[in-house]
């Protein structure tokens, strides 16, 4: 029993000496690492058929384009984008006109032409805008996703005769936001 006690004591002393020796000779190696997160731009657009529609109303057949008042969208297109994110809003009528010159279709093969614009009587609003150049789109810079949306009114005027078959004429315009 005495021998076991003596061996245990010797082992304990040896471990303590080695631990002290290791602590006395300890060194430090340093390094670094990064914590990263990438935030990408985000935009949303609020435009809905039935809400932002442009309605010219009713006119007698063969009313000239000058006899039909220019109209604006019933409510604004709203765009919300990340803070300081540049964006361009492009409009494309269903005939894919890059200049915003559309054609409302109605009964038979008759059409009535119209032009989208940025302001009353203003320049065309089409789909040639890119981030580095507004072109005939409309550009802006995001105020942040928690800020109020930027709003834009679309204007349109009839550009052709209405000497067409009586009935309802309409077209669908696609709204795209590049960001």
pLDDT digits (tens, 9 = 90+) for 101-145: 999 999 989 999 999 999 999 999 999 999 999 999 999 999 999
- Strand pairing of 138-141 and 86-93? antiparallel
pLDDT digits (tens, 9 = 90+) for 13-65: 555 554 555 556 899 999 999 999 999 999 999 988 888 899 999 999 999 89
- Whether residue 159 is predicted with pLDDT greater than 70 in this model: the reply is yes
**Residues present in the chain in total:** 179
For residue range 84-105, list pLDDT tens digits in order: 999 999 999 999 999 999 999 9
pTM (2 decimals)? 0.79
Dihedrals phi, psi of 18, to nearest 5 degrees = -65, -40
Give me the residues paired with residue 124 across strands.
Answer: 117
């Amino acid at each position: 029993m005495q021998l076991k006690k003596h061996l245990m004591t010797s082992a304990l002393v040896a471990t303590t000496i080695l631990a002290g020796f290791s602590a006395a000779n300890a060194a430090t190696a340093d390094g670094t690492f990064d914590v990263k997160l990438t935030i990408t731009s985000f935009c949303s657009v609020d435009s809905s058929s039935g809400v932002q529609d442009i309605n010219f109303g009713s006119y007698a057949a063969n009313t000239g384009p000058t006899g039909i008042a220019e109209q604006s969208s019933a409510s604004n297109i709203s765009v919300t984008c990340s803070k300081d994110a540049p964006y361009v809003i492009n409009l494309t009528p269903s005939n894919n006109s890059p200049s915003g010159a559309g054609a409302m279709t109605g009964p038979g093969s008759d059409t009535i032409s119209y032009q989208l614009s940025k302001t009353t009587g203003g320049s065309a609003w089409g789909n040639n805008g890119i981030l580095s150049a507004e072109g005939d789109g409309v550009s802006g810079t995001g105020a942040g996703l928690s800020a109020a949306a930027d709003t834009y009114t679309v204007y349109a005027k009839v550009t052709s005769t209405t000497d067409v078959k009586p009935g309802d004429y309409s077209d669908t315009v696609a709204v795209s936001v590049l960001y």
